[in-house]
Amino acid sequence: MKIVLASNNAKKLLELQALFAPLGVELVTQGSLGIPEAEEPFGTFAENALAKARHAAEASGLPALADDSGLAVEALGGAPGVLSARYATLFGQPKSDADNNRVLLEQLAAFPAPEQRGARFVCALVAVRSAADPEPLIAMGRWQGQILTAAQGEAGFGYDPLMFIPSLGRSVAELSAAEKNVQSHRALAAVHLAAQLREVWHLG
């Protein structure tokens, strides 16, 4: 089954394609179909993912899959949250992974101890058969860790170099793609969504 991915992030496409390949799913990005990005006006990951999935399905006429994910830092009241991708712009800085990471470190400067720097990667995955699908499939995944005081590792994207996973003794950016695809918030959400795709959409 061909499903439109409501994202133009090449690394996210690779992650999700690997996770859903066993179901016989072929993901195509909305950008490759000339579909512009949807608005993300909501305050929760699940609502934004649903909005993006419905937008991609309506524009393409195909089933759609959307992910809305980000970082929730406990000391910052859950920020950057749904604004994770553009966190730096809230402080007058450019939108980039490097600027987002730098701003996050600045905001956590008053919390130097590891136990003060608890954080979660959060992912909401939503699949719809059409824009009007009354039964969207929704799955959540959470990956607990701590924010480092300096970047570690070269792999991954986003906040991966700052997210330390105590149980693994490494940052997310120090994990291989295969390791991340087993451990991550997106992987956990994908497992839950895949079960629903098998049960409700009869895939795989």
Q: How far apart are CA 123 and CA 14, in angstroms?
A: 16
Please, which pLDDT band fits residue 18 given cuts at 50, 70 and 90? confident
The crossing angle, in degrees rounded to 10, of helices 10-20 and 185-200 is 50
CB 85 within 8 A of CB 59: no
> What does the pLDDT look like over 20-32, one tens digit per residue?
989 999 999 999 9
**Cis peptide bond N-terminal to 80, omega within 30:** yes
What pTM value is reported for the model?
A: 0.90
* Known active-site residue 160: no
Strand residues in 108-165 grouped as ranges (E): 118-128, 137-147, 163-165
Distances (CA, A) of 40 to 37, 82, 131, 201: 9, 9, 16, 26
Domain residue spans in the chain? Answer: 2-200
When mean pLDDT is compared across 74-78, 136-140, 152-156, the lowest value belongs to 152-156
The fold of the 2-200 domain, in CATH, is Maf protein (3.90.950)
Higher per-residue pLDDT: 128 or 15: 128
pLDDT of residue 10: 82
Q: Which of 67, 68, 99, 133 is catalytic?
A: 68
> What does the pLDDT look like over 144-155, one tens digit per residue?
999 999 999 999
pLDDT of residue 178: 86
